[in-house]
Amino acid sequence: MTAALRMSSLYAPTLKEDPSEADIASHRVLLRAGMVRKSAAGVYTFLPLGWRSLHKIERIVREEMDAVGSQELLMPVLQPAEIWRESSRWDAYGPELMRLKDRHEREFALGPTHEELITTLVKGELRSYRDLPVSLYQIQVKFRDEVRPRFGLLRGREFIMKDAYSFHATQSSLQRHYDAMSAAYARICERLGLTYREVEADSGQIGGKVTTEFMALAESGEAEIVYCSGCDYAADVEAASTVVPRHPAASKPAPMERVHTPGIRTIAELASFLDIAAHDTVKTMAGLAPEDRIVFFCVPGDRELNPVKADRVVPGVRLLEDEEFGARKLPKGSLGPVGAGDRWNALVVADRSLEAEVSWGVGANEDDYHFVHAMPGRDFNVDGWADLVAAQAGDACPACGADLLGARGIEVSQVFQLGTKYSDSMRAYFMDEDNVEKPFVMGCYGVGISRSLAAVAEQYADDAGCAWPVAVAPLEAAVIPLSAEEQVTSVAELLWNDLAGRAVEVVLDDRDERAGVKFADADLIGWPYQVVVGKRGVAEGVVEIKHRRTGERENVPIADAAERVAALVAEARLSLRPRTPLPASTL
Ligand code: ATP
Ligand code: MG
């Protein structure tokens, strides 16, 4: 992307103050640097500088998609309701799906994703196994009426995504492309300069390792992840299989005892009242499964139930809302497994780590009472043992046993093996080698383009603005004359022209502003290399080159300055190239 721009005519309205609507660094800096503006909650305009950075991200993504043999197309935003009904997602997607009617009262959705549309597209056209595999992608605006649009571009209601879909005759063909896509996604993160982790994510009922999320590490991230201090295992806490430390029973088996525990509601209160460790108490939560079946989930007192895992064990289960306890005569504050089967016909499912426990301290299903020394098998029944708790830092890595560390992340992209989920429901078949009609085996792959811009900003923002990596910076260099004297401006113009001639994206700060204002804006917008032209320097024949990332400054003879900046930019651009070798085409 070549460019030689003048600040005097650039539409980049910078802000001196932090806008009150922005509570995280990326949002602040994108607004303050004049890169984006909000038009409604979760809906943004990309101003020229933001749009330039976004284009750079798109370019990297396109190069990587093309390299793995995916082909670009463009599908419509407007999607007929019928295809969403066919996949059963018109209802299942819920209020996040933006819906509208045309003048003939026909229903449409604004695409939040394109599985339905693309499956409908290809099903009449890819007829034979000989036509497969095919991988297609687009870069386009998406709509999701998020419950809580926030953090600027990170969670928008209108945002830009690259979405790819692949169609295969066999699972092994899908697996090959999925692996190539995963490698491409890792390269995209690297080329954007992101510090990231590739994490195992939850694949719902499908099971198996069929989805991976790419998480840019950031304190402000909405996702919680754990990663291993010893190997490269990393997972979303919702998906991580947990190795909860087992605590051998502190006491020998004893008869179950009913204890009066007046006013005790929390695990901490109970543990201190009974004078035992929190992990020696058992927390019970009530869920409701299909067909109105009550389920009691028991987890160690110091751990949290992971609803995703609960759903894996008892499909369709959800935790009861507070107001639902009364009608079912469930004592919310003192739930426990003893008598649960008899009184509520409840299923009791307990976390595997509790198997080691000889006796439990549990709620007595009666306000202000608990049982101690309750023993599974003797005093109550456990219908199933399962991995139920959310992983947390300090747990053992399920792969190697070393300590897990915790971090927060921004999900910038995700790859997913869909299998035949959509081709089955939408009856998208091809004729296989053996003359049998079969559903396509599908994969889908998404990169949040606008979210990636914010994720980079989040990692590179500092007090002065954003120290963009060259790959994403709106422009690569700036020439900043510090005064309006002819000898200064002429050198600046000369250098600006010279840099443009060397295909460096360069801006000239030709505004009639004080030096302080120019410096502040240069650091705020974050031009990676800033050539400062001052009166004294010009008299001595030198200019100063400031490296925005490191703060390093070097004095360079005027005659060498353009060459030096061009060399720095060329070196930084090398990181635009893939660092890991491209795989042989998988298609
Ligand atoms: P999240 O869990 O954050 O809501 P998701 O898993 O629903 O995201 P996908 O359906 O996997 O999102 O979409 C692919 C990519 O699109 C995500 O990895 C993310 O980068 C981006 N994305 C999703 N929702 C939004 C949004 N509301 N605003 C900006 N980008 C988004
Ligand atoms: Mg996702």
pLDDT in tens, 200-250: 887 654 444 589 999 999 999 999 999 999 998 999 888 887 777 766 666
Torsion angle, alpha carbons of 178, 181, 183, 189, to 10: -140
Q: What is the pLDDT of residue 576?
A: 60
**Pocket flag, ligand 1, residue 370 (CB < 6 Å):** no
Tell me the average pLDDT across 523-530.
Answer: 98
Percent of the chain beyond pLDDT 90?
79
CA distance 32 to 45: 14
pTM, to two decimals: 0.88
Residue nearest to atom 14 of ligand 1 (CA): 446
CA distance 233 to 404: 9
CA distance 173 to 433: 15
Which atom belonging to ligand 1 lies closest to the Cα atom of 452?
20
Q: Render pLDDT for 236-273 as a digit per residue (tens, 0 to 9).
A: 888 887 777 766 666 678 899 999 998 887 888 888 88
Q: Render pLDDT for 19-44 as a digit per residue (tens, 0 to 9).
A: 999 989 999 999 999 999 999 999 99
**Pocket flag, ligand 1, residue 411 (CB < 6 Å):** yes
Least confident of 37-46, 395-404, 438-447: 395-404
CA distance 180 to 49: 32
Q: What is the pLDDT of residue 240?
A: 82
Cβ proximity of 567 and 465 under 8 Å: no
**Pocket flag, ligand 1, residue 146 (CB < 6 Å):** yes
Tell me the average pLDDT across 320-324.
Answer: 91
- Whether the per-residue pLDDT at 1 is higher than 90: the answer is no
Cβ count within 10 A of residue 481: 28
Tell me the average pLDDT across 390-405.
Answer: 90
Torsion angle, alpha carbons of 390, 391, 394, 395, to 10: 110
Q: How confident is the model at residue 460 (pLDDT cuts 50, 70, 90)?
A: very high
The Å distance, Cα 237 to ligand 2 centre, comes to 14
Print burial letters for 343-358: b (CB count within 10 Å at least 16), e (below 16).
Answer: ebebbbbbbbbbeebe
Print burial letters for 114-151: b (CB count within 10 Å at least 16), e (below 16).
Answer: bbbbbbbbbbeebeebeebbbbbbbbbebbbbbeebbb
Q: What is the pLDDT of residue 133?
A: 97
Which residues, in sequence order, are CB contacts of 557 under 8 Å at separation 6+? 541, 542
Q: What is the sign, positive or negative, of the torsion defined by CA atoms of 175, 176, 179, 185?
A: negative
Q: How confident is the model at residue 584 (pLDDT cuts 50, 70, 90)?
A: low
Half-sphere exposure in the Cβ direction for 359 (13 Å, CA): 16
- Whether the per-residue pLDDT at 580 is higher than 70: the answer is no
Percent of the chain beyond pLDDT 70?
95
Q: What is the pLDDT of residue 512?
A: 96
Q: Render pLDDT for 351-361 as a digit per residue (tens, 0 to 9).
A: 998 887 767 88
Which residues, in sequence order, are CB contacts of 105 under 8 Å at separation 6+? none
Q: How confident is the model at residue 278 (pLDDT cuts 50, 70, 90)?
A: confident
The Å distance, Cα 195 to ligand 2 centre, comes to 18
Q: Render pLDDT for 48-75 as a digit per residue (tens, 0 to 9).
A: 999 999 999 999 999 999 999 999 999 9
**Pocket flag, ligand 1, residue 446 (CB < 6 Å):** yes
- Provide the token pair at 351: 């976390």
Least confident of 237-246, 255-264, 487-496, 526-535: 237-246
Q: Render pLDDT for 360-373 as a digit per residue (tens, 0 to 9).
A: 889 999 989 999 88
- Whether the per-residue pLDDT at 444 is higher than 90: the answer is yes
CA distance 266 to 272: 10
Strands, sheet with 360-363, edge to edge from the N-terminal-most edge strand = 257-260, 369-374, 360-363
Q: What is the pLDDT of residue 166?
A: 98
Paired residues of 214 in beta bridges: 198, 413
Q: Render pLDDT for 77-94 as a digit per residue (tens, 0 to 9).
A: 999 999 999 999 999 999
Nearest bound ligand to the CA of residue 161: 1
